[in-house]
Amino acid sequence: MWSLMMIRKSISPAAGDSANTKEYQILYMLIDNKDRVVSKAELMKEIWGGNVDYNTNTIEVYINFLRNKIDKPFGQQSIKTKVGYGYYWDIS
């Protein structure tokens, strides 16, 4: 079982590392909204400023980065997908 300290160490934003910063922002949004599904559109708007140059595949890639860092090493599945809509945090 992972702890929040382990998560922080594995994805905390390093100076100038925008990928880790985006991962951290996504994770923060999911945990902060743990009682509901966060849509891909919400993630795009809040994290990328709604920039239309990015597509929804961008979010899928970052979600995969997060899953590889915080779920796979600990045998967890805390980031869940609501197909066709978005993602939610579930540690039950």
Q: Give the burial string for 54-85 (b: 16+ CB within 10 Å, else e).
A: eeeebbeebbebbeebbeeeeeeebbeeeeee
Query: In this predicted model, what pLDDT tens digit does every residue of 39-84 receive, in sequence order?
Result: 998 998 898 886 655 566 889 999 999 999 888 888 889 999 999 8
Is residue 2's pLDDT more than 50? no
Number of helical (H) and strand (E) elements in the chain, helices listed first: 4, 3
Is residue 28's pLDDT more than 50? yes
Beta bridge partners of 79: 89
pTM summary value: 0.79
The CATH number given to 16-89 is 1.10.10.10
